[in-house]
Chains A and B, each alone.
Chain A
Amino acid sequence: MKKLPIQGRTLAMLAVVIPLLALFIYVGLRSGPLAPVAIMLATVESRAVTPALFGIGTLETRYTYKIGPTFAGRVQRLDVQVGDRVKAGQIFGEMDPVDLDDRVRSQNAAFKRAQAVLREAEARQTYAQTQANRYEKLFTARLTSEDIVTTRREELKIAEAGLSAAHEDLARTHADREGMVAQRNSLRLIAPADGVVAERYADPGTTIVAGQTVVEIIDPKSLWINVRFDQISASGLAKGLPARIVLRSRSGQTSQGRVLRVELKADAVTEEMLAKVVFDALPQPLPPIGELAEVTVDLAALPTMPAIPNAAIRRVGGRVGVWQIVNNDLRFTPVTLGAYDLAGFVQVREGLTSGDQVVIYSEKALTSHSRIDVVEKIPGVQQ
């Protein structure tokens, strides 16, 4: 009984000191750089990887008609507004003809004058013909001199040449007039195809240079998406592949489409491949031209092969591979990878077989000397 107070005190002291020391040792070994690295393992599974390509593009129309005059001039009238539908051949505007109408009238007058000149030449020729015939007969009856007959023959040739010239002159003035009328007609702004007015660049009174666009007409039925795929992840892109399209303004909806064509020329500056993707059924209401669209092109599923999540892939010493646990030690296994899909699975061509365990997640970069601790979930990750 005498020793009890001291023993009690010692016990109490130990009760404080021993947990403290235990905690200290735990802290020293389980935290900081000496602590084991928490890792998560994944099993290599045989699965059919379905590669897909992801690109973004803008909505464009296949046919865009930019209508404008071929001569510089002023817009006289423009009957259509943005959104109006136009029919092929419809005249929806006109340029100011300035003096063209007057010139057409002048050509008309010139044409009539040429007709009059032709009539005069015909009359002259008829008269010369008659005279020539008469003198031929008189000469046959020896009633006139050869000299006079020769003169009549010459006069007839001259009259015939005059008639021919008058004919040609008439044709020329006719052509001139037709040309002027054609020029006059070209000042009309005519829709080349059915479509919708997408842009009206000028209003009546505006002066336009030759070739400048006054009205832009699009064919809404020819809507397509000009999609850009990064070259590095565009292998397998081909015509006819099914595509899923998500428009920026309708992010919840997926429309189906297909690749219409892959452009022969890639973008050399941005290192992207270009493709045109069309909708299977046009979304209604029609999305605006220029809207951003995300396009996922599904390639055919590949044969079943061992596949790993891409989070498991590491590069150590310039080689691509995965970390594996062999006899409780980490070992780096170089692998040859194949195709991958957008869900993050990568085919393994060489280096792993189905059922192998690989390190998928780790708390920090691993080395072959790392102490490891296999966990179900890396600490600190919020679900």
Chain B
Amino acid sequence: MISLAGRDIMHAWGKFVFTGVGLGLLIGVTLSMAGIYRGMIDDAKVLLDNSSADLWVVQKDTLGPYAEPSSIYEDTWRSIRGMPGVARAANVTYLTMQVREGQRDVRAMITGITAGEPGTPGWPPYLVAGRQITRGHYEAVADIASGFRLGERLHIRRNHYTVVGLTRRMVSSGGDPMVFIPLKDAQEAQFLKDNDAILQQRRRSAANPAFNKPGSPGLLDAVIASQSSNAYVNAVLVQINAGYGVDEVAESIRRWKRLTVYTRSQMEEILVGKLIATSAKQIGMFLVILSIVSAAIVAFIIYTLTLGKIREIAVLKLIGTRNRTIAAMILQQALALGVIGFVVGKISATLFMAPIFPKYVLLEPLDSVIGFMVVMLICVLSSIIAIRAALKVDPAEAIG
């Protein structure tokens, strides 16, 4: 048995393939859009993964440290470390700011990591080049998305940091690359004002008679010293001992330390459900619109392809071809078009669109499978219109 659809496609395969490629680019954009959506959620999840924490202890009644500002005293970790079930507790600070290197600057999330050894909560869990931080000051590990290279000197506030290590996929929930620096430097970076502001603050303090009494020399110096130190961190990352429940430890910290504690699932809920909710919805909306547009275009293409062959179909009918055969031909062609479109779409999305996109595009295999099924379904549905048009054709048109 000869395949009518195959014969027809072969008849004008160039046109068919080009139509498929065009459709493929559209599907590629749709897949990329799904990838962007997944990428946004993945950004939020890797942020949590990379902190390698089981619990986040933050300022009471805040959604910190990612979704809201949170600040707690830097020595809070000691009392948390003493709670039952806590294996490790480490201070951490996060601050999104511009990091300068030479003439350019990059928006990055500065992460202050507590001194210790690799594997401490907050430290980058893996590297792609260089080494981890060994000095307590002025060293940095940067994400490769920032474009920084090993050995480069970064300017953060007034200090210079040498890039000693590079890592990958360490981003903030907004997709900004992370730059890890020692905690004490990060506290300073978070708090330190420019020299002008410091001078003015000193002048203001000196002008305040309460701080600058003639009878108590030294008071002004003490006040200024206390004004220019930062004893706060944004959160304490906690890893718990095996054998303890996450919720149980979280609850005891909440109860006895009167701080807000989030578990991994709660944190994910905050990041995905609150922090990136609007932008994710926006991308989701684009995805829906693109899908509808794609479906309409697929239907339109197949309909046009069928109408272009209307005379041949009339001839087929005239020679007594069964309706089923004609319908099968159109359906098969629609499916073939869908397959080509999907293959081209997947390739273009993976090889061309994802790498050049500024934000992370995560193309999940499951999304591709679902995408494939949706494409097939749309092809089937849109071929129905074409089949109806083909079946309604009068065989007489073949000669008339």
Contact = CB atoms under 8 A, between A and B. Distances in A.
Residue in A10, A12, A211, A310 with the greatest tally of chain B CB atoms within 10 Å: A310
Contacts of B52: 315
B156 to A, nearest CB: 15
Nearest to B52: A315
A33 B364 contact: yes
A24 B129 contact: no
Interface in B89-147: 115-119, 125-132, 134-138, 144, 147
B197 interface: no
A361 B128 contact: yes
A382 B136 contact: no
B81 interface: no
Interface stretch (A84-92, A117-125, A167-175, A229-237): A229-237
A1 interface: no
Majority secondary structure of chain B interface residues (helix, strand, loop or mixed): loop
Interface stretch (A129-137, A256-264, A279-287, A339-347): A339-347
Interface string A1-31: 0000010011011001000110110011001
Interface stretch (A100-108, A138-146, A215-223, A363-371): A363-371
Contacts of A6: 10
By size class, the interface of chain B is 35 or more
B13 A9 contact: yes
Contacts of B131: 309-311, 343-344
A12 B13 contact: yes
Contacts of A55: 136-137
Contacts of A230: 115, 136, 184
Interface stretch (B256-264, B281-289, B292-300, B341-349): B341-349
B135 A342 contact: yes
A251 to B, nearest CB: 8
B132 A344 contact: yes
B186 interface: no
Interface stretch (B161-169, B302-310, B318-326, B391-399): B161-169
A41 B353 CA distance: 31
Contacts of B128: 361-363, 378, 380-381
Nearest to B242: A318
A24 B346 contact: yes
Given A344-B131, A361-B126, A313 B13 contact: no
A182 interface: no
A9 B10 contact: yes
A366 B164 CA distance: 22
Contact of A13 (B10, B136, B215, B363): B10
A307 to B, nearest CB: 12
A371 B394 CA distance: 59
B231 interface: yes
Given A32-B350, A363-B128, A20 B117 contact: no
Contacts of A46: none
Contacts of A94: none
A344 B131 CA distance: 6
A300 interface: no
A148 interface: no
B117 A24 contact: no
A366 B126 contact: yes
Contacts of B340: 20
Contacts of B137: 54-56, 294
A98 interface: no
B76 interface: no
A33 to B, nearest CB: 6
A35 B374 CA distance: 24
Residue in B126, B150, B184 with the greatest tally of chain A CB atoms within 10 Å: B126
A317 B368 CA distance: 32
A383 interface: yes
B148 to A, nearest CB: 9
A314 B168 contact: no
B127 A361 contact: yes
B362 interface: yes
A364 B144 CA distance: 13
B209 interface: no
B202 interface: no
A318 B240 CA distance: 9
B278 interface: no
Contacts of B383: none
A24 B132 contact: no
Nearest to A27: B350
Interface string B1-35: 00000000010010001000000000000000000
Contact of B115 (A207, A211, A233, A365): A233
B239 interface: yes
A212 B217 contact: yes
A165 interface: no
B400 interface: no
B373 interface: no
Contacts of A378: 128-129, 168
B49 interface: yes
Contacts of A294: 137-138
A326 interface: no
B364 A32 contact: yes
Nearest to A320: B119
Contacts of A54: 134-137
B351 interface: yes
A365 B49 contact: yes
A33 B365 contact: yes
A317 to B, nearest CB: 8
28 contacts: A9-B10, A9-B13, A12-B13, A13-B13, A21-B343, A27-B347, A28-B346, A31-B363, A32-B350, A32-B364, A211-B217, A229-B136, A294-B137, A294-B138, A314-B126, A315-B125, A340-B117, A343-B131, A343-B134, A360-B127, A361-B127, A361-B129, A363-B168, A365-B125, A378-B168, A380-B168, A381-B144, A381-B166
> When A and B form their complex, which 8 residue pairs have the shortest distance between CB atoms, in order from nearest?
A315-B119, A344-B131, A54-B135, A313-B118, A378-B128, A311-B127, A230-B136, A27-B350
Interface of A: 6, 9-10, 12-13, 16, 20-21, 23-24, 27-28, 31-34, 54-56, 207, 209, 211-213, 229-230, 232-233, 269-270, 294, 309-311, 313-315, 317-318, 320, 337, 340-344, 346, 360-366, 378, 380-383
Interface of B: 10, 13, 17, 49, 52, 75, 87, 115-119, 125-132, 134-138, 144, 147, 149-150, 164-166, 168-169, 184, 214-215, 217, 231, 239, 241-242, 340, 343-344, 346-347, 350-351, 354, 362-365, 368
Given A31-B363, A213-B217, A230-B115, 19 more contacts: A9-B13, A13-B10, A21-B343, A24-B343, A27-B346, A28-B368, A32-B363, A33-B362, A212-B217, A233-B136, A269-B231, A309-B131, A311-B131, A311-B132, A313-B132, A315-B118, A341-B134, A365-B125, A382-B144
